[in-house]
Amino acid sequence: MNQRLVTVVTAVHAPSAPFLAEAYESIRAQELPAGWDWQWVIQEDGVSDTVRQAVPEDPRISFGQGRPGGPGVARTMGLARAEGAFLKVLDSDDMLTPGTLARDLAVLTRSPSVGWTTSRALDLFPDGSTKGFDQDPQDGPLERGEVFRHWRANDHRPQVIPGSLCVRTELVLALGGWMALPASEDTGLLLALNTVSRGWFIREPGLYYRKWPGQVTSQAPHVDKEERAARAAVAEARVRALEALGGWRFPSSVATATGG
């Protein structure tokens, strides 16, 4: 893998295709450290001309399509084309804030004991206004198990936004990618990451989270308590299984001794 490349991975379906142009501009505007570059892996959840025609022309973009299976499946399929040592998640209807990739990479490159970062997100409304969350953690490390404990104690609400994740690619591959769930697939990966590695929360906003009538979360059919419970149960079972393995942790003792 290219150690000076960050792969932005995006799952997209036809209704959100019109937003790809703004997502692209937010990536293109990023200022990276000298010698670094980005790759954008776009994976359609399905096969349509609508999405294909909306993909910008740029040699740094890798586009793929496949049978529909949800955003988690699409992102995991996109991993086959990821060339960077670091992965940045970006939903197709969201945008990166200026400087977010540089901030993510600064943490991950200076701290070998940190496996992933998340950052503050701002809700972006159709009129252009934004609103933040007033209960974000402080800037700094998130120790192993911390995110999981918060999730369990707060009605399965994650402590940080999984849609702002930046992570070492090797960790995502080792954990098998995103969970094959109809929803909460990104939370499931976040909980697994926090079980095996330390994270870091960046208080400066790193994501504009678009609010619009067609977003998947707002159009999802009624989900009964049984499905919600099943999603939470399988995510927790994954965490417990990783805990039971005991010895599998990131990083190795050698890497831990070098700093972070």
pLDDT digits 0-9 by tens, 40-67: 999 999 999 999 999 999 999 999 999 9
> How wide is the angle at C-alpha 87 spanned by C-alphas 42 and 208, nearest 5°?
70
Mean pLDDT across 155-177 = 95
Domain definitions of the chain by residue range: 2-256
d(CA 187, CA 162): 6
pLDDT at residue 79 greater than cutoff 50: yes
Q: Which residue has the tokens 């402080």?
A: 138
* Three-state DSSP string of 174-241: HCCCCCCCCCCHHHHHHHHHHHHCEEEEEEEEEEEEECCCCCHHHHCCCCCHHHHHHHHHHHHHHHHH
Torsion angles phi and psi, residue 140, rounded to 5: 145, -170
Q: What is the pLDDT of residue 219?
A: 43
pLDDT at residue 253 greater than cutoff 50: no
pLDDT averaged over every residue in the chain: 91
Q: What is the pLDDT of residue 217?
A: 45
The Cα diameter of the chain in Å comes to 51
Classified as helix, coil or strand, 3 is strand
What count of other Cβ atoms lies within 10 Å of the Cβ of residue 65? 17
More confident call, 211 vs 166: 166
Could you confirm whether domain 2-256 is CATH 3.40.630.30? no
Query: How far is C-alpha 166 from the geometric centre of its chain's CA atoms?
Result: 6
Q: Pairing relation of β-strands 198-210 and 140-142? A: antiparallel
What count of residues does the chain have? 260
More confident call, 260 vs 19: 19
Q: What is the pLDDT of residue 223?
A: 63
Under the banding of pLDDT at 50, 70 and 90, the label for residue 260 is very low
pLDDT at residue 256 greater than cutoff 50: no
- Which pair of structure tokens corresponds to residue 129? 């206004």
Q: What is the pLDDT of residue 134?
A: 76
Under the banding of pLDDT at 50, 70 and 90, the label for residue 133 is confident
pLDDT at residue 175 greater than cutoff 70: yes
Mean pLDDT across 100-116 = 97
Q: What is the pLDDT of residue 214?
A: 63
Q: What is the pLDDT of residue 222?
A: 55
Query: What is the DSSP track for 132-168?
Result: --TTPPPSEEE-TTHHHHHHHHTTT--SS-GGG-EEE
% of the chain beyond a pLDDT of 90: 81
Helix and strand numbers (H, E) in the chain are 10, 10
Amino acid identity at 42: I
The tally of CA atoms less than 13 A away on the side-chain side of residue 83 is 12
